[in-house]
A = this chain, B = another copy of it.
Amino acid sequence: MVESELYPLLLQSGFQIPPFSRFALNEPLEIDFYPIALKIESPKIVHKSDVGGVALSIGNADEAHNARTQMINRIREHNIALSPDDGFIATAMIQGEELFAGVVDDPIFGQIILFGKGGVLLELYRDVCYIDIHAGEDEILRALRTTKISKLFEGFRGALPCMEKIVAFIQTLQNFIQTHPDIRECDLNPVIFNPEGLYVVDARIDYHQTIPEPALTPRIRHNFFDNRTVAVIGASNDPNKVGYAVAHNALTFSGKLYLVNVRGGSFEGHTLHSSLRDIDDTIDTAVITIPSEYVLEAIESLIPKGVKNLIIVSAGFKEIGDTRSEERLSALAQQHNLNIIGPNCLGYYESIRNLNLTFGSSAINKGSLALIAQSGAVLSSLMDKASQEGIGFSHILSAGNMADMDFADIITMLSATPECEAISLYAEGIRDGKAFLEAIRRCPKPIRVYKAGKSPQARKAAFSHTGNLSGDYPMFRGLLESVGVKMVDTLEALLYAKSFDNIAIITNAGGPGTILTDTIIERGSGLYSLNERDIEALDAILPSNWSRNNPIDIIGDARSERFEAALRCVDDMENVDMVYLLITPQMMTDTFDIVQLLERPWKKPIFPILLGGAMMEEALRFLQEHSKPCFTTIHEAGAFL
């Protein structure tokens, strides 16, 4: 599309464009908006600059006339014969900050807007944000604020605040795309920003050959989290089999449980039914642990039992290249409105009826956090760590290959489940980004996400692992943050749901206190400021050379009595929302006695950090045996904030 066709389209779509005029090849250049840029327009010339077909900063009619003459000569020198249909376009040169707006049709997220600093700096600084075409105003603002250039729009150094103009521009672009669903790629580059507004100066639009089909509306699903009658298909007495661990963990279920194994017999005192026909009951939920070749058949026989939910632990589907069986799973789910988790997963846990259908840890604490993970190994590690640190869950879901239920479905269901108060998600790749974003938008609970596969090298590894697209990390992070997700940088941070803004540090060492302060600030959390009353209270119980500042350095010779007194003081400070107890091994430090203090009831959450090695071992072991969280490096201690 040449500019004289493009400009009317942009104008009609609500964009501001610079004044322009089109002239036939020999038409007099009558222009009243100098300075201008003059460009050749001819279907024979794609790259105008290459043939000298662009002249900039033309200040008056004489210059324009000369520029045209020279341009025709230059083009002639390139052996291009201009015809009477060709012509020139003159556009007003607009001064201002060069911005960029674009649209890509991402394989995961669909049509997404990119917006940020333009020109050569676009590539150098990559100061762009990502905005979904369905993003509301808040979401647009959150995305814009991740860019540094947005400070200009918010009135940086006396600039006129104009965020609403930028938002309106983005909304115009959203409308434009929604009325052109066949846009494959679009560059509005540059967009010039000045106090009068945003001007689209140049544009390039690529269309799909065919209009993509609209996404299917998501299926109305049964509630997954209401499991009263459960069957374990493949319960096994062989402790090396997954079917053993799942059946064993399932025994704590407070609803009705049926164990099934074609060979019959018994399992830890419970009947092993050799066939589903033997069970004279409906089955809400089944977990399947048998070899993959029998899975589809098992599902067929579960359907007459009224099964609604299936957890397919069995591996051997898409991840080893068998996409056909996996497609049949999806089709069955569609056809019979089943909720299927897996295949190739670690299982499922819900706290409400103490239902542990995983082959992970058997010691799961009840809590209010739902943990979803795409990797069974990540999940089993986190479950193991959580059990050691006394962290509890409302739900644990191993998503596996996501043949049917994907993250969007799971988040949607968790949104409506009162037992779950926060959601943590480990993701490698996702399929339908638009549905994922929409599920998060509708979810009223805090969500944390760790995304693996940030580097190209890792994406290669992830692909060989799951077969899902792993995507562009900055886009993933940007879009998720714009819908309010907290992106975390360590796996372990998924085990914590709360953020803290008024942290107190009690320590016997100034240096490490400084480092922890740095870490807290880097993570975007805040340190509590001691007020005069706080300082008075601490003065009364601490040696005179304490820091009189937070971090509260209670001095290297502090023993458990002083730690206790300081802890009591800080626990009483109304606005402190969390306490780090940062202990270094100094000559007289009785670390073991200090950590015993954590067994007492305190009002605030207290996280001990034991900095050192052998001298800290006994105390560390005490905390682990009493299922208390404990950190051994400052970095780790700050990573969950």
List the interface of chain A (C-beta within 8 A of B).
Answer: 59, 117, 120-121, 123-125, 127, 148-149, 151-152, 156-157, 159, 240, 242, 245, 320, 359, 361, 363, 373-378, 380-381, 384-389, 426, 428, 452-455, 457-458, 460-462, 464-466, 489-492, 508-515, 517-518, 521-522, 527, 545, 547-549, 551, 553, 556, 584-588, 611-617, 624, 632-636, 639
Q: Report yes or no: B457 in contact with A517, Cβ–Cβ below 8 A.
A: yes
Task: Indicate if the CB atoms of A461 and B514 lie closer than 8 Å.
Answer: yes
7 contacts between A and B (CB under 8 A): A120-B156, A378-B512, A428-B511, A452-B518, A461-B510, A461-B553, A462-B514
A152 partner residues in chain B, CB cutoff 8 A? 120, 124
| Residue among A464, A513, A514, A548 with the highest chain B CB neighbour number at 10 A | A514
Of the candidates B242, B522, B616, the one whose C-beta lies within 8 Å of that of A384 is B616
Instruction: State whether A465 and B521 are in contact (beta carbons under 8 Å apart), knowing that A377-B584, A587-B242 are contacts in the complex.
Output: no
Q: A374-B511, A380-B585 are in contact. List 13 more A-B contacts (CB 8 A).
A: A117-B121, A120-B159, A124-B152, A381-B509, A381-B585, A381-B611, A384-B614, A388-B613, A428-B514, A458-B518, A458-B521, A466-B510, A613-B624
Interface contact A584-B121, CB-CB below 8 Å: no
The verdict on A549 contacting B613 (CB below 8 Å), with A157-B120, A452-B514, A633-B490 known, is no
Select from chain B the residue with minimum beta-carbon distance to A359.
Answer: B587
Which residues of B lie under 8 Å from residue A386 when comparing CB positions? 613
Bound state CA distance, A605 and B522, in angstroms?
A: 32
Given A377-B584, A553-B465: A455 and B522 interface contact (C-beta under 8 Å)? yes
Query: In the complex the two chains form, is A517's CB within 8 Å of B455's CB?
Result: yes
- The residue that A518 contacts in the complex, of B375, B384, B455, B587, with Cβ under 8 A, is B455
Q: Are A511 and B384 in contact (CB under 8 A)?
A: no
Are A518 and B454 in touch, CB under 8 angstroms? yes
Which of A378, A491, A511, A553 is packed against the most chain B CB atoms within 10 Å?
A511
A491-B545 in contact given A384-B613, A511-B426, A514-B458 (Cβ < 8 Å): no
Complex contacts, A465 vs chain B, CB 8 Å: 510-511, 513-514, 547, 553
By a CB distance below 8 angstroms, the chain B residues around A548 are 464
Residues of B close to A617: CB separation below 8 A: 388, 624
Q: Which residue of B lies closest to A634 (CB)?
A: B491
Q: Name the CB-closest residue of B to A461.
A: B514
CB atoms of A556 and B377 under 8 A apart: yes
Asked whether A452 lies within 8 Å of B380 as measured between CB atoms, the reply is no
Name the B residues within 8 Å of A462 (CB-CB): 510-511, 514
Contacts A388-B613, A518-B453, A616-B384 hold; do A378 and B59 have CB atoms under 8 A apart? Answer: no
Is the CB–CB distance between B515 and A491 below 8 Å?
Answer: yes
Taking the nearest CB of chain B, how far is it from the CB of A470, in angstroms? 8
A461 neighbours in B (Cβ, 8 Å): 510, 513-514, 517, 547, 549, 551, 553
Chain A interface main SS type:
helix
Cα distance A616–B388 in the bound complex, in angstroms: 10
Q: Are A545 and B320 in contact (CB under 8 A)?
A: yes
Chain B: minimal CB distance from A84 (Å)? 34
Contact B551 A521 (CB under 8 A): no
Residues of the B chain whose Cβ atoms lie less than 8 Å from the Cβ of A381: 509, 512, 584-585, 611-613
Report the bound CA distance from A454 to B517 in whole Å: 9
Contacts of A455 in B (CB 8 A): 517-518, 521-522
Whether A377 lies near B512 (C-beta < 8 A) is: yes
| Distance A633 CA – B638 CA, assembled complex (angstroms) | 13
Residues of B within 8 A of A121 (CB): 117, 121
Q: In the assembled complex, which residues on chain B have CB atoms less than 8 Å from the CB atom of A545?
A: 320
Closest CB-CB distance, A542 to chain B, in whole Å?
Answer: 14
Give A466's nearest chain B residue, CB to CB.
B510
CA distance A633 to B361 in the complex (A): 18
A373 to B515, CA, bound (A): 13
A457 touching B521, Cβ below 8 Å: yes
**B residues within 8 A CB of A149?**
124
Give the distance in Å from the alpha carbon of A587 to the alpha carbon of B436 in the complex.
Answer: 32
A93 shortest CB reach to chain B, Å: 11
In the complex, are the beta carbons of B489 and A635 less than 8 A apart?
yes
- In whole angstroms, how far apart are the Cα atoms of A387 and B616 in the complex? 12
A391 to chain B, nearest CB (A): 10
Which residues from B are CB-within-8-Å of A385?
Answer: 612-613
* A125 touching B123, Cβ below 8 Å: no
Highest count of chain B CB atoms <10 Å: which of A389, A455, A522? A455
How many angstroms between the C-alpha atoms of A240 and B551 in the bound complex?
26
Q: Decide if A377 touches B613 in the complex (CB within 8 Å).
A: no
- Nearest-Cβ distance from residue A595 to partner chain B, whole angstroms: 16
Minimal Cβ-Cβ distance residue in B for A124: B148
> When A461-B517, A514-B465, A521-B457 are in contact, do A509 and B639 touch as well, CB less than 8 Å?
no
Taking the closest CB of chain B, its distance from the CB of A264, in whole angstroms, is 24
User: Contact at A509–B378, with CB atoms within 8 Å?
Assistant: yes
Contact B522–A491 (Cβ < 8 Å): no
When A124-B152, A156-B124 are in contact, do A522 and B454 touch as well, CB less than 8 Å?
Answer: yes
Closest residue of B by beta carbon distance from A60: B59
Shortest C-beta distance, A100 to chain B (Å), equals 14
Residues of B within 8 A of A492 (CB): 633, 635
Q: Whole-angstrom distance between the alpha carbons of A284 and B90 in the complex?
A: 86
Q: How far is the CA of A473 from the CA of B521 in the complex (A)?
A: 14
